């Protein structure tokens, strides 16, 4: 088993008087994480799966007296896929308020659904955590830095979903199944999502624009839609943990782009599946974009698991001067350029250096990836 960084974090929050909510996309390993976590506690546990009709029936129109025989002497109650439970927030609230000695844990793959159902009932009653696909750091802890670095080109193509990692030779088949699950099982079940073809087109357009600025107006024109619909669908894709956005950094120069945004995928394998491109790195025209997506998505995982309180941006001027990635903490800036070729030089733009002279600047290549992701 590949140990997840979130496992040790969760241990510190057990039995602290709060319900633990774990969000994440489908198939990132939420259930496996719980199954690894529980035995170490030595506590008697009741596992309930919201995908099962019997469990949904049990937790519909629920009351503490109805639940008491089931909870009995269990010390931990796990509700997996809790977003499938009607009135999930009220169910969690009833268990939390009436069984004080029980540690309640809930997982959900559709955060936009689950969080909407639980936020108000569970105010002040919960700790929230996020699980993403396996990270570069987790794999280096699993089998060593040098072994993982040898697999870097493979990861850039196929990504880090657990099933992909553990089934070498079947990566493309698994990724196609995963992508279909995202598109058709989660997102398309939403009320008001009436254009599945448009959703697929948006995803493909975003995948092809990886590393470039994204304009909702331009996407609307390209896809024969309107800006509002495009923005709504992209927001849903973000809430489903498929993509995330990076906003432009701007404070000093009037030439800086102030409202720009880039959109990245949490997993390179999903991104490549959407465009149907599994060519090796040395045969790709988008190798630089894959390297950029990989580093920025892995850095987001690193920030979450290490609780780094930093803001992330990219920087660009109207004259197309650019810095790939910036982190800001307490007014201090760290700027990064990403180069797949370790021998390729990069210089910090003079406009940026003039505006932010105290910024630290670093080039990240495969040769020093550990400086950025471990």
| Matching residue, tokens 């499938």 | 84
- Beta carbons of 240 and 186 less than 8 angstroms apart: yes
Q: Which run of H or E residues covers position 305?
A: helix 287-305
**Among the four given CATH numbers 1.20.120.330, 3.40.50.10110, 3.40.50.300, 1.10.10.10, the one describing domain 136-373:** 1.10.10.10
5-130 and 136-373 share one fold: no
DSSP secondary structure letter of residue 213: B
Q: What is the distance between the alpha carbons of residues 33 and 49, in angstroms, rounded to a whole number? A: 15
Which residues make Cβ contacts (< 8 Å) with residue 58, sequence separation at least 6?
48, 66, 70
Where are the chain's structural domains?
5-130, 136-373
5-130 CATH: 3.40.50.300
Terminal Cα distance for the chain, rounded = 20
pTM metric for this prediction: 0.93
Please give the chain's pLDDT, 374 residues, in tens: 899 999 999 999 999 999 999 999 889 999 999 999 999 999 999 999 999 999 999 999 989 999 999 999 999 999 999 988 988 999 999 999 999 999 999 998 766 666 777 888 899 999 999 999 999 999 999 999 999 999 999 999 999 999 999 999 999 999 999 988 777 666 776 656 767 788 889 999 999 999 999 999 999 999 999 999 999 889 888 988 899 999 999 886 667 777 889 999 999 999 999 999 999 999 999 999 999 999 999 999 999 999 999 999 999 988 888 999 999 999 999 999 999 998 888 889 998 998 899 999 999 999 999 999 99
């Amino acid at each position: 088993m590949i140990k997840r960084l979130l496992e040790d974090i969760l241990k510190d929050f057990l039995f602290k008087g709060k319900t633990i909510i774990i969000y994440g996309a489908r198939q990132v390993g939420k259930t496996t994480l719980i199954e690894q976590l529980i035995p170490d506690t030595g506590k008697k546990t009741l596992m309930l799966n919201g995908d099962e009709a019997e469990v949904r029936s049990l937790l519909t129109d629920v009351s503490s007296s109805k639940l008491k025989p089931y909870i009995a002497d269990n010390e931990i109650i796990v509700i997996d896929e809790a977003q499938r439970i009607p009135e999930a927030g009220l169910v969690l609230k009833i268990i939390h308020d009436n069984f004080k000695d029980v540690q309640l844990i809930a997982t959900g793959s559709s955060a936009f659904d689950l969080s909407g159902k639980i936020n108000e009932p569970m105010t002040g009653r919960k700790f929230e955590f996020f699980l993403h696909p396996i990270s570069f750091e987790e794999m280096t802890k699993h089998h060593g830095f040098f072994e993982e670095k040898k697999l870097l080109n493979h990861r850039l193509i196929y990504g880090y979903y657990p099933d992909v990692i553990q089934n070498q030779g079947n990566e493309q088949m698994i990724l196609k199944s995963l992508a279909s699950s995202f598109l058709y099982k989660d997102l398309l079940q939403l009320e008001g999502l009436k254009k599945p073809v448009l959703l697929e087109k948006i995803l493909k357009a975003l995948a092809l624009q990886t590393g470039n600025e994204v304009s909702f107006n331009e996407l609307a024109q390209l896809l024969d839609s309107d800006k509002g619909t495009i923005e709504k669908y992209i927001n849903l894709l973000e809430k489903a943990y498929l993509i995330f956005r990076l906003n432009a950094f701007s404070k000093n120069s009037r030439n800086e782009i102030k409202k720009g945004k880039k959109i990245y995928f949490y997993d390179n394998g999903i991104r490549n599946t959407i465009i149907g491109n599994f060519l090796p790195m040395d045969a790709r025209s988008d190798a630089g974009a894959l390297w950029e997506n990989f580093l920025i998505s892995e850095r987001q995982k690193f920030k979450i698991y290490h609780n780094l309180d930093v803001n992330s941006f990219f920087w660009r001027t109207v004259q197309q001067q650019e810095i790939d990635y910036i982190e800001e903490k307490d007014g201090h800036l760290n700027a990064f350029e990403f180069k797949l070729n370790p021998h390729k030089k990069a210089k910090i733009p003079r406009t940026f250096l003039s505006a932010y002279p105290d910024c630290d600047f670093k080039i990240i290549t495969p040769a020093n990836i550990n400086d950025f992701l471990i």
